[in-house]
């Protein structure tokens, strides 16, 4: 079955005698045991919950993994991955990471003796050269946010495995509809489910999907030991939102392509970063490993003041730190999502102060372009 069919055709409630069309919310913390010394399939919702299980199985299926795990946020999912490491271990990360991941790595992970080194992972050779025997995890996003750099995930997986490290990819900017990193040799794929998976800005959640059974057991151990799993009602909302993932992504990507083409031809716009434009430096890699350029793009408008003005003036693009919703949003990354990136890192990462990031929604493309055109005129 194609992914479009699998998004709506799955077992929404195994073993339910009433055969519901939508997954019931098992809003219960505990489950009765029939015998004192024998557990049923579920005993306590931190350890397992039927609503969460349906969502986790569906996510595993959509990413072509064997097991999925859902967490209270994308950051909780990332934190869980870092707990696979111990003191003395090292993470080799691409430098263009989500601001919250940078903050976790710089200000929390250092307390447990795990070190993080940053490399330019768009150069596979430089990652190979930077690996040391302590490198246990290679960590990256592709396309990156907010610069939309595209990394060669297959090449990076080979480099990580040559050094006996795991390779973890944050797939939030693409969603499982557009890219399946496990198929490219990646060991751990994670998402902020808050973004495209949810699609409606009404859930904060995260997910990890893996193929390897031993790795799955370790992640399950951490999810249960740390108590970071997603609650049943949020699981229900995600299950509902994900049914329209294809419809949303198709519409949003089509709109993003139109907006990117408009911006690329506009005299006041300096640089358009969008992996769906043939002028993108790694367009060929994106074509090979994903099914389109997605719905996020960024561009420069010449000065931080112009960036602030444009963000505040647009009518259909609301100022918001997040992305992936059916609504179009606009942000100034250095002032918002990336404000938590330490200044020295931000500078060396070259995130321009006049950079604007758009997450393109499902509105009419003509309306979106007209809004940008009018406001670009006025700044």
Q: Which residues are catalytic?
A: 46, 98, 170, 195
- Quick one: 195 or 246, whose CB is closer to ligand PLP? 195
Cβ-based neighbours of 79, under 8 Å, separated by 6 or more: 104, 108, 228
The CB-of-204 to ligand PLP minimum distance in angstroms stands at 5
Of the candidates 45, 49, 51, 73, which one interacts with ligand PLP according to CB under 6 A? 73
Binder among 80, 135, 175, 192 for ligand PLP (CB under 6 A): 192
Position 204 contacts ligand PLP (CB under 6 A): yes
List alpha helices for the chain, DSSP H: 3-6, 50-62, 74-82, 99-107, 124-130, 153-162, 213-226, 232-242, 245-264, 283-289, 304-313, 343-349, 365-378
Residues near 137 by Cβ (< 8 Å), separated by ≥ 6? 81, 82, 84, 85, 89, 90, 91, 92, 165, 166, 167, 168
User: What is the distance between the alpha carbons of residues 9 and 94, in angstroms, rounded to a whole number?
Assistant: 36
**Residue 80 makes contact with ligand PLP by CB under 6 A:** no
Q: How far is the CB of 18 from ligand PLP (least distance, A)?
A: 33
Interaction of residue 338 with ligand PLP, rule CB under 6 A: no
Nearer to ligand PLP, 271 or 321 (CB): 321
Question: Among residue numbers 146 through 185, which ones bind ligand PLP (CB under 6 A)?
Answer: 170, 172-173
d(CA 331, CA 333): 6
Q: Cβ contacts of residue 49 below 8 Å, gap of 6+? A: 26, 28, 42, 229, 232, 235
> Applying CB under 6 A, does 82 fall inside the site for ligand PLP?
no
Q: Confirm if 174 and 127 have CB atoms less than 8 A apart.
A: no
Q: Which stretch binds ligand PLP (CB under 6 A): 95-103, 109-117, 301-309, 325-333?
A: 95-103
Write each residue from 97 to 136 as x if it is in contact with ligand PLP (CB under 6 A), else as -, in one continuous string.
-x-xx-----------------------------------
Residues making contact with ligand PLP (CB under 6 A)? 73-75, 98, 100-101, 141, 145, 170, 172-173, 192, 194-195, 204, 206
């Amino acid at each position: 079955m194609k992914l479009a069919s699998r998004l709506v055709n799955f077992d929404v409630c195994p073993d339910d005698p009433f055969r519901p069309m939508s997954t019931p919310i098992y809003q219960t913390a505990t489950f009765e045991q029939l015998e004192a010394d024998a557990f049923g399939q579920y005993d306590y919702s931190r350890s397992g919950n039927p609503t969460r299980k349906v969502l986790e199985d569906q996510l595993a299926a959509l990413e072509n993994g064997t097991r999925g795990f859902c967490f209270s946020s994308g950051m909780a999912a990332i934190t869980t991955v870092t707990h696979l490491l111990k003191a003395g271990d090292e993470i080799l990360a691409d430098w263009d990471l989500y601001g919250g991941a940078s903050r976790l790595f710089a200000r929390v992970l250092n307390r447990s003796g795990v070190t993080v080194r940053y490399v330019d992972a768009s150069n596979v050779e430089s990652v190979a050269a930077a690996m040391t025997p302590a490198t246990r995890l290679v960590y990256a996003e592709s396309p990156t946010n907010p610069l939309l750099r595209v990394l060669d995930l297959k090449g990076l997986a080979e480099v990580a495995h040559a050094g006996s490290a795991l390779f973890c990819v944050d797939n939030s900017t693409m969603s499982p509809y557009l890219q399946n990193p496990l198929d490219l040799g990646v060991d751990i794929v994670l998402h902020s489910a808050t973004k495209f998976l949810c699609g409606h800005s009404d859930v904060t959640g995260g997910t990890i999907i893996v193929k390897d059974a031993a790795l799955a057991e370790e992640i399950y151990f951490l999810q249960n030991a740390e108590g970071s799993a997603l609650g049943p009602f949020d699981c229900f909302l995600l299950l509902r939102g994900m049914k329209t993932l294809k419809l949303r992504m198709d519409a949003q990507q089509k709109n993003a392509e139109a907006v990117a083409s408009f911006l690329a031809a506009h005299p006041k716009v300096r640089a358009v970063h969008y992996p769906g434009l043939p002028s993108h430096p790694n367009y060929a890699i994106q074509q090979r490993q994903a099914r389109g350029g997605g719905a996020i793009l960024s561009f420069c408008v010449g000065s931080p003041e112009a960036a602030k003005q444009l963000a505040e003036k647009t009518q259909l693009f609301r100022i918001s730190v997040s992305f992936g919703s059916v609504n179009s949003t606009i942000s100034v990354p250095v002032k918002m999502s990336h404000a938590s990136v330490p200044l020295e890192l931000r500078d060396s990462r070259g995130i321009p102060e006049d950079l604007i990031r758009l997450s393109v929604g499902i509105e009419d493309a003509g309306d979106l372009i007209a809004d940008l055109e009018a406001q670009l005129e006025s700044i």
